[in-house]
Amino acid sequence: MRSRRSMLAASVLAPLTAALGSVADAAKKGNKGKRKKGAGKKPRAPKGSPNFVVIVTDDMRASDWQALPKTKALLAPRGVWFPNFLIPTPTCSPSRTSLLTGMHAHNHGVLRSNGPHSGWAAFHANRLEQRTIALRLHRAGYRTMLVGKYQNGYGGRGGVPVGWDEWCATSATGYVNFSVVENGKLRKYRGRRYLTDYMRSKAVRFISTTPRDTPLLLNMNFKAPHSPATPAPRDRNAFAGVAVDRAIPSLSEDDTVLSGKPEWVRQLAPIPRDALDKDEQLRLGTLRSVDQAIAAVVNRLRTTGRLDNTYLFVLSDNGWMRGEHRILDKGVPYASSVCVPMLAWGPRFAASGTDDRIVANIDIAPTIAAAAGIGFPGVDGRNLLDDWSREEMLLEGWSNSRPGWRALRGKTWLYVEYDTDEREYYEYDPDPYELTNRLADWSGHTPTLAEVDADRLAERLNDAKTCRGKACP
């Protein structure tokens, strides 16, 4: 099979430059520093326009939902679960960019969180401030706020991005001793202030101070449960004694369990199980304060009379490999990295239901635009309020320390191609822990997937990895 590494620049970066340039040139330049004055009166949104609250955790696994009981109790009875919610590029900056723009990473160009084509530098260089759902809503008369994480490497450079009325973006992102760019000014918080509690107070105040006849967009991007996890003092022992299930086959220390994996995985060393237990306790502990913050936001929406006309989305920027296949990281194509259920609530979502469609973070911005009744062209995602289904989702990953990859994932299967020409194929019904790679063709293995089926998957992936708009699966 031909190498895919040499195809990357031509298939991703070249068309990207032209596409993003034409979009940005057609838009007005954003505010790169202090807020401009005298730019004209802000338009008024139509009466009855819905509100939007997008809440994003950082590196939360599907199993971490156990630490959010208040959130589930408040939202699940009238909300909808999306169990097949996927993160197409499962790492911080690419994922957050997809959330704001509705675009796949190969189209928006933020490919990593650090290194080449990464973080705020790529976001700003590609003029993506002009492509966010926040700017669209702002221009439609919404009051907008971001509180928490924005882009890796932001640090306040470029000032307050266009489209945001209130801006509290973290710069140094510790759980304590953190820094925040507050409407263009850097403030350092030291001592006993806890980041999640700071975000909670800012969000509640934003809701309270927004005029009743003005709809709002609130984007809360928590640090929790990102490692090194530091729970609030009140939650330090909330999950003491919790242990990672030793019976999970993908946590086995037996080398034979990894024999069907690509070379970079087979070279990984075993992870001490006691270290996993402690990390699990701390990670879950950080989510207790997130749960309390979400409850406070929901309560303030209720007391201000907004809740019944609000769409809320609770999701993670990506998942987390908690030692599966000896990986403590994200950014890989395996289930724990790319699949974290989302809980959504809103006037047009089915109450107390489950939507098992394959959906993704690229679908959030188009959904918000549709619910608000505004246009949002150039997206790869789909409106979740419409009736449609996906057979598969494109996944893609770039890394500074391991091979890049592209993949297709259906509800019951995963197909992966690496830049090293290694391939993987798993079927989840008989193999939920991704142990048996049916395309392993290295020493000790013979592929068990028919070549005609493998070729068909390769053709579909080849078509998808440069897709744009409605052509994306």
Share of the chain above pLDDT 70, in %: 92
Cβ atoms of 151 and 94 within 8 Å: the answer is no
Residue 8 has pLDDT above 50, yes or no: no
CATH class of the region 49-384: alpha beta
Greater pLDDT, 6 or 157:
157
Cβ atoms of 276 and 322 within 8 Å: the answer is yes
Cβ atoms of 329 and 271 within 8 Å: the answer is no
At 195, list the tokens. Answer: 């980041």
At 63, list the tokens. Answer: 């199993």
CA–CA gap between residue 125 and residue 120 (Å, rounded): 8
The whole-model pTM stands at 0.92
Q: Which tens digit of pLDDT belongs to each residue from 403-462?
A: 999 999 999 999 999 999 999 999 999 999 999 999 999 988 999 999 999 999 999 999
Residue 227 has pLDDT above 70, yes or no: yes
Q: Which tens digit of pLDDT belongs to each residue from 427-442?
A: 999 999 999 999 999 9
pLDDT level of residue 209 (50, 70, 90 thresholds): very high
- Helices 273-303 and 195-209 pack at an angle, to 10 degrees, of 20
pLDDT level of residue 201 (50, 70, 90 thresholds): very high
DSSP label at residue 36: P
How large is the average pLDDT for residues 155-178? 91
How large is the average pLDDT for residues 380-407? 97
Indicate the domain borders of the chain. Answer: 49-384
CA–CA gap between residue 267 and residue 283 (Å, rounded): 27
Residue 14 has pLDDT above 50, yes or no: no
pLDDT given for residue 385 in this prediction: 97
pLDDT level of residue 42 (50, 70, 90 thresholds): confident
How large is the average pLDDT for residues 354-371? 98
How large is the average pLDDT for residues 228-248? 95
Residue 163 has pLDDT above 80, yes or no: yes
For residue 303, CA distances in Å to 48, 199, 202, 463 come to: 17, 19, 16, 49
How large is the average pLDDT for residues 74-88? 96
pLDDT given for residue 327 in this prediction: 97
Residue 166 has pLDDT above 60, yes or no: yes
Residue 274 has pLDDT above 90, yes or no: no
Closest CA to 386 of 407, 369, 370, 373: 370
CA–CA gap between residue 301 and residue 244 (Å, rounded): 36
How large is the average pLDDT for residues 98-111? 98
Residue 19 has pLDDT above 50, yes or no: no
Residue 109 has pLDDT above 60, yes or no: yes
Least confident window among 8-17, 51-60, 66-75, 283-292: 8-17
pLDDT given for residue 218 in this prediction: 99
Residue 31 has pLDDT above 60, yes or no: no
Share of the chain above pLDDT 90, in %: 85
Least confident window among 32-36, 42-46, 166-170, 208-212: 32-36
Burial 224-260 (b: 16+ CB within 10 A, else e): bbbeebbbbeebeebbeebebeeeeebbbeeeebbbb
pLDDT given for residue 35 in this prediction: 52
pLDDT given for residue 158 in this prediction: 78
Q: Which tens digit of pLDDT belongs to each residue from 177-186?
A: 999 999 999 9
pLDDT given for residue 173 in this prediction: 74
Residue 15 has pLDDT above 80, yes or no: no
Least confident window among 29-33, 190-194, 200-204: 29-33
DSSP label at residue 157: T
pLDDT given for residue 298 in this prediction: 98
CA 378 to chain centre: 19
How large is the average pLDDT for residues 334-340? 98
For residue 386, CA distances in Å to 77, 186, 313 come to: 21, 42, 17
